[in-house]
Chain A
Amino acid sequence: MAGTNWVKFEIPSDTRNVAFARTAVALFASQLDWTLDELEDIKVAVSEAVSNSIIHGYQLGEGIVRIEASYQDQKLTIVVEDYGQGIADVKQAQETGYTTIPEERMGLGFTFMHEYMDEVLVVSEVQKGTKVILIKEVPPRSEG
Chain B
Amino acid sequence: MQYSFETVGQALIARLGGELDLHTSPHFKEQLAKFFTTHPQIKYLIMDVQDLQFIDSSGLGVILGRYRDVEERGGRLFFVQANPHIKRVLQMSGFQKISEFADSTADVLKRVEGGQL
Chain A residues engaging chain B, CB cutoff 8 angstroms: 15-16, 18-19, 37, 40, 43-44, 47-48, 51, 54-55, 104-106, 108-109, 111-112, 115
Given A43-B54, A44-B54, A106-B57, 17 more pairs with CB closer than 8 A: A18-B21, A18-B22, A19-B19, A19-B23, A40-B85, A44-B56, A47-B22, A47-B54, A48-B56, A51-B56, A51-B57, A55-B22, A104-B61, A104-B65, A106-B64, A106-B93, A111-B93
Q: A40-B85, A44-B89, A115-B92 are in contact. Are A108 and B22 (CB under 8 A)?
A: no
**Chain B: residues with CB nearer than 8 A to chain A?**
19, 21-23, 54, 56-58, 60-61, 64-65, 84-85, 88-89, 92-93
Cβ contacts under 8 Å, A104 to chain B: 61, 65
Query: Which B residue sits closest to A104, measured CB to CB?
Result: B61
Q: How far is the CA of A26 from the CA of B35 in the complex (A)?
A: 35
Q: Are B21 and A112 in contact (CB under 8 A)?
A: no
| Chain A residues, Cβ within 8 Å of B84 | 37
How far apart are the CA atoms of A109 and B56 in the complex, in Å?
8
Establish whether residues B85 and A37, one from each chain, have CB atoms under 8 Å apart when the complex forms. yes
Known contacts A48-B56, A51-B56; A108 and B21 CB within 8 A of each other: no
Whether A108 contacts B57 by the Cβ 8 Å rule is yes
Question: Which chain B residue has the least Cβ–Cβ distance from A44?
Answer: B56
Known: A47-B56, A51-B56. A108 touches B23 (CB 8 A): no
* Minimal beta-carbon separation of A29 from chain B (angstroms): 15
Whose C-beta in chain B lies nearest to the C-beta of A115? B92
A47 close to B21 (CB less than 8 A): yes
A27 to B65, CA, bound (A): 32
Report B-chain residues with C-beta under 8 Å of the C-beta of A37: 84-85, 88
Rounded to whole angstroms, the CA-CA distance of A18 and B59 in the bound complex is: 13
The 8 Å CB contact of A15, one of B22, B60, B65, is B22
Residue of A nearest to B56 (CB): A47
Tell me, in angstroms, the Cα distance from A44 to B93 when the chains sit together.
13
